[in-house]
Chain A
Amino acid sequence: MDLTFLLLTLVKIVLICFVFAMIMGALLTWVERKLSAAVHDRVGPNRASIMGVTAMGLLHPIADMIKAFTKEDFVPAGANKALFALAPMLAMVPPLVVFAVVPFGPGPNFVIAPLDTGMLFILAIGGLGIYGAALGGWASNNSFALLGSLRAAAQMISYEVSMGLNLVGIFLIFGTVSLSQIVLGQGELLWGWLPMWGIVLQPVAFILFLTASMAENKRAPFDLPEGESEILGYNLEYSSMRFALFFLSEFVEIVVIAAVAATLFFGGWQIPWVDPQGTAGGWITAGQVAAFVGKVVFLCWVQMMIRWTLPRFRYDQVMTLGWKYLLPLSLANIVVTAIVVAML
C-alpha cells in the first residue's frame, strides 16, 4: 500500500465514479428529454439560457440542479429522520460503487479494483439498491409511499433472481467471474473470424439480462414502483436534493447497466480483430477505451429508446413476466449452455 498506489486509485475513483458516471448521469437527464422530444416530433427543452446561449438545452441540467439545491428540504412529521436521510444515499451509492470493478480498458490501469470476483461484487452491491427504495418509502410515514416501496421491493427482488441467473451462462463459457478475464475471453475468435462476444454466444441471456436489469432499474416499461406520471411511489415525500438523488441514481443505474452489459455481452473494451490481448498500448489502447465508452453510450441509447417505445406493464404482468417467463427461460438457458459447454 504505497502512496502512489493510493493516489492513483483516488484519481481513478474521481475520474470514473464522479467524472464519467455522474456526468453521464446528468447528461442522460438532458438526453432523455431531448430524445423523447425527437421520438414525439417535438423540440424538447431549449429555453434555459445564459446571456442568450441555450446550447441546445444543455443548460437545463444545470437549471435543474440549481432548483434542487434551492428548494425546501422537507421532512414529513413523524418520519424516521435517520432512515429518511439515509435512503437517497443508499439509492445513489451502490450504482457508483459498481463502477469499481468495471474495466474501462485493457490491463489493471483502467479499473479501480481488478477483483477476481468482479461479477459477484456487482450482483451483491447492485442488490443493495433495493434498500434505498424500501427504506425511502418506509421512513416517510406515508401509506402511499410505503405501498410504493413495497411494489419496488417486490419487483426488484423478483428480477434480481433472473438477472443473476442470466449471467451464469457467461460464467460457464468463460470459466471465470472476473470481468477483466471475461473481456479477454471475448477477444478470442469463433471459427477463426467471429469475435466471441457474449451476445454472439448468449443472445437469449442478453435479452433476458437487459429486460431484468431494466426492471431492476424501475424505469418504464417497469416503472410501477414510481409511476412518476400518476401513481407516485416510494419517493412521494422527498423533495429538494434528496429527491434529485433518487432521480439521478436511476440515470446512473442506466450507465451501470450499459457498462455491465457492454462488458459481458459486447466485448468490453475489445475492438473486433484488433489487439485482443490489450497489450499494444498507445493509440490502440486509447481506441479501446473509446470503444468501451461508445458501447456504453449505445446501450444507454437502447435503454432510453425502450423507455420511450413501450407502455407500462400492469403490476400482475410484471410479476408474471418475472417469475413465469424470465426465470424459467434463464434456467433453461443455463441448462442448455451447460450441456453445450460440457460436450465441447
Chain B
Amino acid sequence: MGKLVERPEPDVIIQSYLPEVWNGMKRTSRHFFANLLMKKGIATIQYPDEKVTYPPRFRGNHRLMHREDGSVRCVACYLCSTACPADCIHIVAGETDDTDVEKAPTVFEIDHLRCIFCGFCEEACPCDAIRLDSGEHRVPAFCRKDEMSGKEDLLSRGAPSVSKQGGEFK
C-alpha cells in the first residue's frame, strides 16, 4: 500500500498566473537593472583573459626537486610508483656516483593520461623529490606521446629543496 501524497490545489489567485507572473517579473527585472547599471553580481570569469589563481594546495603538474648541486633528489626507491593507484609512474633505477645514496632514476616518466592527481606519490616520497605543487594546470596535447613527462621535463619545473634526505620536510 503506497503512501497517499496530498497535493493541495493552488488557490484561484495562484491559478490566475498574474500575481506570480508579476512576482517573477519583479525578480528578473531586479537582476536585469542591477546588472545593467553596475556590473555587480556577475559571476562570469572571462577565462582566457582573466584567470582564477589556484588555491595553495592545488595539485597540478608534477615536478622533481633538485639537490643543492642540481642533481635529482629522487633515489629510485619506487615508493611513489607503488603508492600510485593509477599506475602512472614509470621508474628505471640506475647507479649513481654519489655515495650517500645508492640509486638514482635513469628513467622517470609520468603518464598524465593515467594520472588522477591524487597526490599519493608526494605523500609516499621520503626524499621530498616529487611534488604536485607547481600550480600549473595540466595542458592538453595533440598526441598521447606529448602527455608523457620525462625526467628532464619534470626536473625543469623543479626547484632546489634543502630538506634532509629521508627526513623531515623543510
List residues of chain A with CB under 8 Å of any chain B CB: 35, 37-43, 207, 305-306, 308-310
Contacts and interface: CB of A to CB of B under 8 A. Distances in A.
Contact of B43 (A41, A207, A310): A41
A41 B25 CA distance: 15
Contacts of A37: 35
B43 A42 contact: yes
Q: Rank and list the top 8 A-B pairs by shortest CB-CB distance, nearest first.
A: A38-B35, A309-B24, A43-B44, A309-B28, A38-B32, A39-B28, A39-B31, A39-B32
26 contacts: A35-B32, A37-B35, A38-B31, A38-B36, A39-B28, A39-B31, A39-B32, A39-B35, A41-B31, A41-B41, A41-B43, A42-B42, A42-B43, A43-B42, A43-B44, A43-B46, A305-B25, A305-B29, A305-B32, A306-B25, A308-B28, A309-B21, A309-B24, A309-B25, A309-B27, A310-B24
A310 B44 contact: no
Nearest to B23: A309
A41 B42 CA distance: 5
B5 interface: no
Interface in B10-62: 18, 21, 24-25, 27-29, 31-32, 35-36, 41-44, 46
Contacts of A305: 25, 28-29, 32
Contacts of A207: 18
Contact of A306 (B21, B32, B35, B44): B21
Sort chain B's interface into a size bin: 10 to 19
B74 to A, nearest CB: 45
Contact of A42 (B21, B28, B44): B44
Nearest to B41: A41
A42 B45 CA distance: 9
A40 to B, nearest CB: 8
A207 B46 CA distance: 40
A232 B87 CA distance: 46
Contacts of A39: 28, 31-32, 35
Given A39-B28, A306-B25, 20 more contacts: A35-B32, A37-B35, A38-B32, A38-B36, A39-B31, A39-B32, A39-B35, A41-B31, A41-B35, A41-B41, A41-B43, A42-B42, A42-B43, A43-B44, A43-B46, A305-B28, A306-B21, A308-B28, A309-B21, A310-B24
A39 B29 CA distance: 7
A95 to B, nearest CB: 25
A21 to B, nearest CB: 24
Nearest to A44: B44
A43 B41 CA distance: 10
Contacts of B43: 41-42
